[in-house]
Amino acid sequence: MTPPATTPRTHWIEPVPGVRLWVEEHGDPDAPALLLVMGAASSGLAWPDPLVHGLALRHRVIRYDHRDTGRSTWSYAEQPYAVSDLAGDAVAVLDALGVERAHAVGMSLGGILVQLLVTDHPDRLLSATVFGTCAASEAPWTRADGTRATPAGLPPVDPRLIEAWSRPPEERDEAAEIEHRLRHWKLLNGDQVPFDEAFFRDQEERIIRHTGHSGASTAHAQADQSGLVRTAGLARNQVPFLVISAPADPVYPPEHAVHLSQAVGAARLVEVAGLGHALPPAVWPRLARAIEEHTARTGS
């Protein structure tokens, strides 16, 4: 059953001078806060509304547009920044909304940012959940057969995605941009649940309307990626930490989730059947259940 829609509360915050972030809340303002941190080049609207509305039945759900996505400021050329600065933006969102501590959920690059929050701002977190991501750690890991390996031994990205990402940028009109995004989502979806073209088309049309243009964001790919490794800090972690394994993820195959769960102290590993590197309707109930069961374990 689709959860009832909730009335959003919209905010604008300024994490640093000259940068404004679009922020949206759903649910009871007095409920435990749950911060949704999306992946690279993705608007906060990439967290599907029905998933957000379902989580808002028990949480004060907060989603937002990263810099250079959605309605937030697009100014990388004038104000370059590091990937780690995006983690600072997440803290700034909590500060602006008066949230002392929150559950944090991160997908893809958002999962890296949540790991930075865990190590650099553990006092701000009630729990952490990540999926579709890799470890910000150089710790070795143990394969299913018991052998030890370094992170270099983890499976690579699907070559079809590498080929798509290596193509030079193109100027496209809105219709062509939507078709391009649909081809990309089809690859990211994986092969364990059917690709829901109608859903992803509607999502991208909504994001383009929300953003005000159909231009692709490349800022996060250009941002400084140095200083992201947190091997020792993650090993010492005491924040309740859930790693969700995505068995159909073509970017970070399931072994990455195993590595991450071994690299992070206080981590648990669960699988969400059918999950790839996308959020089609078929996975929402299982994903929401995994997140809610984890946040409930903290008693907050």
**Residues labelled catalytic:** 108, 249, 277
Q: Which amino acid appears at position 51 of this protein? A: L
Q: Which CA distances in Å does 8 have to 42, 49, 139? A: 19, 11, 41
Output DSSP code: residue 217: P
Residue 107, token pair as written in the block: 């997908």
Output DSSP code: residue 95: H
Return d(Cα 286, Cα 294) in angstroms, integer.
12
Contact yes or no for 232/120 (Cβ under 8 A): no
Output DSSP code: residue 90: H
Which residues on neighbouring strands pair with residue 9, listed in sequence order?
A: 25
3-state secondary structure of 183: helix
Write the burial class of residue 271 (CB in 10 Å: 0-12 exposed, 13-18 middle, 19+ buried).
middle
**E-strand stretches of the chain:** 9-16, 19-26, 33-37, 60-64, 102-107, 125-131, 141-142, 148-149, 241-245, 267-271
Neighbouring residues of 74: CB distance < 8 A, sequence distance ≥ 6: 67, 68, 217, 219
What count of Cα atoms within 13 Å lies in the side-chain half-sphere of residue 173? Answer: 1
Secondary element (H or E) of residue 94: helix 83-96
